[in-house]
Amino acid sequence: MKRRKIYLNMMTLDEARRIFFSRLSPESLLSTENVPVEQAAGRITADQIDARISSPGFHSAAMDGYAVRASDTFGASDQKPVVLREGEEAWPINTGHPMPEQCDAVIMIEDVFEAKPGLVEIRRPVFPWQHVRKVGEDIVATELLFPGNHLLKPCDVAALITSGISSVKVWERPRITIIPTGSELVSLSSVGEDGPPAGKTIESNASMLASMASEAGASVEVTDIVPDDIDLLRAAVSNAVTSGAHMTVVIAGSSAGTADYTVSIIEELGELLVHGVAMMPGKPTALGMIEGRPVVGNPGYPVSSAISFEQFVLPFLALLQFRKPAQRPSIEAIAGRNMPSKAGIREFRRMIVGNVNGRNIASPLGKGAGSITTLTRANALFEIPENSEGVEEGAKIGLSLLREDEDIERTLLCVGSHDLSLDIIKDMLQRSSHTFFLYSTHVGSLGGLMAIRKGLAHIAGTHLLDPETGEYNVSYVKKYLPEGSARLITLVHREQGFMVPPGNPKDIKGIKDLVRKDIMFINRQKGAGTRVLLDYHLKKEGINPRQIQGYGNEEYTHMAVAVDVLSGKADTGLGILAAARALGLDFVPLAEERYDLLMGADSMEHEGIKMLLEVISGSGFRQRVESLGGYSTRETGKVVF
């Protein structure tokens, strides 16, 4: 039985970086090459570059007008104009043309008056070399144009060409080889319409990391997927190192599983420097050297994979290009929720940040290392240092922006209950002529109300049923929010019911079936409107929640409940018809409910809120929502109060 490789002596992120980068030297890894100047943009100069010729190479006119001897114009004024003979004392000239040898100035055409044919009248003098570009005014032959280790930009290419340089000596591009590993992985190209075979996962990390490396200026090779076979992986790593890759990245295999071989191979072929970094996600990172070249054991979970790559590989690629790692813009924000963290671990939290009534508010996304959607949805990053146990809601925090092209002022924060129609709103807002970005985090209807009360969101989705009146949302808003502080607008009516596997194999007919011993239920979290609806019907039928297997098992969205039913984790769960349809599940109706949008009164003047209201009032939105199934838009846009 293979012994597990457990990392007991994790290093801090700073210590791991110090050890790793102290062993890296660009000059010892890189070679140089000559490239045509037309292809030099984005490359790094290997030597200083001196100009071959001067620019301009002759005295030239800087203006359209007449070339003259400056001394012939002295004394000219409105009272005493000077008249010059064309072709003898004044010569027509255009911008950039060579100056006649006898001339040392140009009179702008705007300052010339035609006295008679062949005669030019001027009323103001010019001084020597006025409106003339002298030889070498821009570039002088032999002068330094660019030092070594300079990143050549498009304008630099123009300067090189102007100075007569046809090729430049540059450092070769960084080359990185990425090796995806895992017997459970298959490539996208091998997957048919029915998806991957049972127990198999489509490999995606390599493409993500390759894109990150390419964006950072590297030349990237991605190998075929290597199964969990130590001999095959050893051969792949050895081949990458000997074939000239400046860095080799092995995805997965650096953790403590019995099929994790990366660390053993680094130790066998070279030197292991680090195994285990005190950061989350990304803890299983391994760093080593083989034949003088760095090898990184990159974690297999997508978020861990990306974080580890950002912390170690991207800085290395910057080092090979004699640059500092790119610095993201930073902002301050208010924490929208409590974020506990484990002391001694540097934690990276993906965040959604928007400006709510003059304050930047940041809401955390899920912490799961495998949740790739936290990478796609986040627009900011929060680093919780090792000496912190987290932050509380309302605390001031510093963030790094992940998406510079998205204006925080044009970001709408939606906190509360989940609904698929929010995705349609997001799409339509982003396609609108005045683009706005809608980000939603799902904390349940009651959590959304609290966020509006505290000024931590623009919008809250809510569908809280009042058991006493049968009305939705109104009594809760009146209970928790000051009068006049919010607006309630109906978005949709939707069908709630029990999602069951295709064919309803356990013949679930209604709420009474939940107490059966052969039924495993999946619930929504406390404070969710769906859970309030469930509890209302349980009470109505006289059912004690403790009689239901799985009542305490919680998910945060309708789609998560649907996935649990589809996967067999649960036999049924309460959710909307649209979620059941999306995953091909059957559906047993329970009730129709009203789903509203709650907005702070101060947010109603936000241009994004105005655009949102315009979107939901349109026929295009209503058609798209009703096509999902289980929705009615008969009151969409109606102002409740």
Q: What pLDDT score does 3 carry?
A: 46
Please check whether residues 215 and 284 belong to one and the same domain.
Answer: yes
CATH number for 541: 3.40.190.290
pLDDT single digits (tens) 375-387: 888 889 999 999 8
Q: 354: domain CATH number? A: 2.40.340.10
What pLDDT is recorded for position 556? 86
Let me know: does 112 contact 122? Beta carbons within 8 Å: yes
Q: Which one is predicted more confidently, 374 or 223?
A: 223
Residue 423 to residue 155: CA distance in whole angstroms? 43
Provide the pLDDT confidence category of residue 256 given band limits of 50, 70 and 90. low
Averaged over 504-508, what is the pLDDT?
A: 96
Nearest to 453 by CA among 445, 442, 441, 463: 445
pLDDT at 257: 55
Mean pLDDT of 314-339: 91
User: In this structure, which long-range contacts are made by residues 222-227, counting pairs with CB atoms below 8 Å and at least 24 apart in sequence?
Assistant: 222/177, 222/178, 222/180, 223/177, 223/178, 223/179, 223/180, 224/187, 225/180, 225/181, 225/182, 225/185, 225/186, 225/187, 226/179, 226/180, 226/181, 227/181, 227/182, 227/183
pLDDT at 368 over 70: no
Residues 217 and 275 in one domain: yes
**Whether residue 193 is found in the same domain as residue 304:** yes
Owner of token pair 């309030």: 532
What is the reported pLDDT for 297?
95
Question: pTM of the prediction?
Answer: 0.79
Residue 639 lies in a domain: no
Query: What is the rounded average pLDDT of the residues 363-373?
Result: 75
3-state class (DSSP) for residue 192: strand
pLDDT of residue 258: 55
578 within domain boundaries: yes
- Looking at the fold, whether 254 and 309 belong to one and the same domain comes out as yes
Q: Which of 170-179, 252-261, 621-630 has the lowest mean pLDDT?
A: 252-261
Asked, for residue 589, whether it belongs to a domain, the answer is yes
Report whether 129 contacts 105 (CB < 8 A).
Answer: yes
401 within a domain of the structure (yes/no): yes
Give me the sheet containing 293-298, strands edge to edge: 219-222, 175-180, 247-251, 293-298, 286-290, 271-275
Domain count, the chain: 5
- Residues 118, 200, single domain; the answer is no
Cα separation, 532 vs 526, in Å, equals 8
Q: What percent of the chain has pLDDT over 70?
A: 97
Assign 1 a pLDDT band (cuts: 50, 70, 90): very low
Whether residues 471 and 498 share a domain: the answer is: yes
Mean pLDDT over 300-325 rounds to 93
Predicted pLDDT of residue 599: 95
Q: What is the pLDDT of residues 527-551, one digit of tens each?
A: 888 998 999 999 999 999 999 999 9
CATH number of the domain to which 207 belongs: 3.40.980.10
2 or 288: which leads in pLDDT: 288
Neighbours of 414 (CB within 10 A): 29
Question: Is it the case that residue 478 has pLDDT exceeding 70?
Answer: yes
Same-domain check for residues 164 and 178: no
Same-domain check for residues 508 and 587: yes
Residue 343 is predicted with a pLDDT of 87
**One domain for residues 198 and 213:** yes
Claim to verify: residue 596 and residue 520 sit in the same structural domain:
yes
Q: Residue 2's CB: how many other CB atoms inside 10 A? A: 11
Domain extent, residue 360, equals: 330-406
Mean pLDDT computed over every residue of the chain: 91
Instruction: Confirm whether 412 is domain-assigned.
Output: no
pLDDT of residue 254: 63
Q: Comparing 255-264, 273-282, 423-432, 438-447, which segment has the lowest mean pLDDT?
A: 255-264
Same domain, 164 and 218: no
| pLDDT score of 4 more than 50 | no
The verdict on 281 and 349 lying in the same domain is no
**From residue 571, how far is each of 100, 274, 514, 565 by CA, in Å?**
94, 45, 10, 6
| Alpha-carbon span 463 to 474, nearest angstrom | 10
pLDDT above 90: percentage of residues in the chain: 77
Bigger pLDDT: 403 vs 553: 553
Kindly state the average pLDDT of the residues 260-265.
Answer: 89
Radius of gyration of the chain (CA): 34
pLDDT confidence tier of residue 467, bands split at 50, 70 and 90: confident
What residues form DSSP beta bridges with 522? 573
Would you say residue 422 lies in a domain?
no
Q: Which of 237-246, 285-294, 319-328 is least confident?
A: 319-328
Domain final position from 390, 406, 422:
406
Summarised one tens digit per residue, pLDDT across range 153-201 is 999 999 999 999 999 999 999 999 999 999 999 999 998 888 888 889 9
DSSP per-residue letters across 556-601: SSHHHHHHHHHHTS-SEEEEEHHHHHHTT-EEEEEEEEEEEEEEEG
What pLDDT score was predicted for residue 2? 44
